[in-house]
Amino acid sequence: MKEEEVIWVEGRPGVRMSAFRMARILIFRRHKRLLILIGLIFLASLITGLTVDLRWLLAGFFLLLVLSPAILAFTFYSDALRPECMFNSLYHTIDCTENGITIITLVKNDEEGAETETASPESETDLITWRVVGRRTFELRELKSLELFPEEMIVTLRDPLRGFIWIPEAAFPTDEEYNRTVAMLRKCQNR
């Protein structure tokens, strides 16, 4: 499964996080305690079901297979659809300056009569045009923490904002620009 998709818009790469990757980040980063609690309750009902009464085993499977997906889906959608987080799953460009991180959200330009099929690399006349649907600047004081991973970083936002900014290396035209952004955000985090 692809973790990211990259397009080029006016010389800048636009990226989009896969839905599976976004769900994994939201659930495992924001709801880790809930997952541990569900796992411990299931483990306790498994042990109790095998040693005392099989009905406890059924209750544990009910919790694991019926209630926990509903709880996790609710918590995922309550975070994933927030304006400060949903752009991660849409095509967007990222620009980092001393003022903050600017996210420009893009969608295909679906004007009436315009074709929306993906252009093949051989044909330059059929290129897709993109329309800006949102622009959000996160000031540096709104950023809470920075986590670095190979070829990407995740910036968590301060409360009351409940979300994160996913910044892959592919979102920058050059490695130097990505490294400059990492250095700037690290410096900001150490303040």
Q: Which pLDDT tens digit goes with each residue over 32-47?
A: 888 888 889 999 999 9
Q: According to the model, what pLDDT value does residue 163 have?
A: 82
Task: State the Cα–Cα distance between residues 64 and 42, nearest whole angstrom.
Answer: 7
Q: According to the model, what pLDDT value does residue 44 have?
A: 93
* pTM greater than the 0.85 cutoff: no
Task: Compute the average pLDDT of residues 68-86.
Answer: 81
Q: According to the model, what pLDDT value does residue 3 have?
A: 59
Between 5 and 142, residue with greater pLDDT:
142
DSSP string, the chain: --SEEEEEETTEEEEEE-HHHHHHHIIIIISHHHHHHHHHHHHHHHHHHHHT-HHHHHHHHHIIIIIHHHHHHHHHHHHHTSTTTGGGGS-EEEEEETTEEEEEEEEE---TT---SPPPTT-STTPPPEEEEEEEEEEGGGEEEEEEETTEEEEEEPTT---EEEEEGGGSSSHHHHHHHHHHHHHHHT-
Q: According to the model, what pLDDT value does residue 111 have?
A: 63
Q: Evaluate if residue 83 carries a pLDDT over 60.
A: yes
Task: State the Cα–Cα distance between residues 100 and 129, nearest whole angstrom.
Answer: 27
Q: Evaluate if residue 139 carries a pLDDT over 80.
A: yes
At 67, list the tokens: 């209630």
Q: Evaluate if residue 77 carries a pLDDT over 50.
A: yes
Q: Taking a C-beta distance cutoff of 8 angstroms, is the pair 94, 101 a contact? A: yes
Q: Give the tens place of pLDDT for each residue, 89-130.
A: 888 888 888 888 999 888 887 665 444 434 434 444 446 677
Between 77 and 50, residue with greater pLDDT:
50
Q: According to the model, what pLDDT value does residue 47 have?
A: 93
Q: According to the model, what pLDDT value does residue 2 have?
A: 53
Q: According to the model, what pLDDT value does residue 48 have?
A: 93
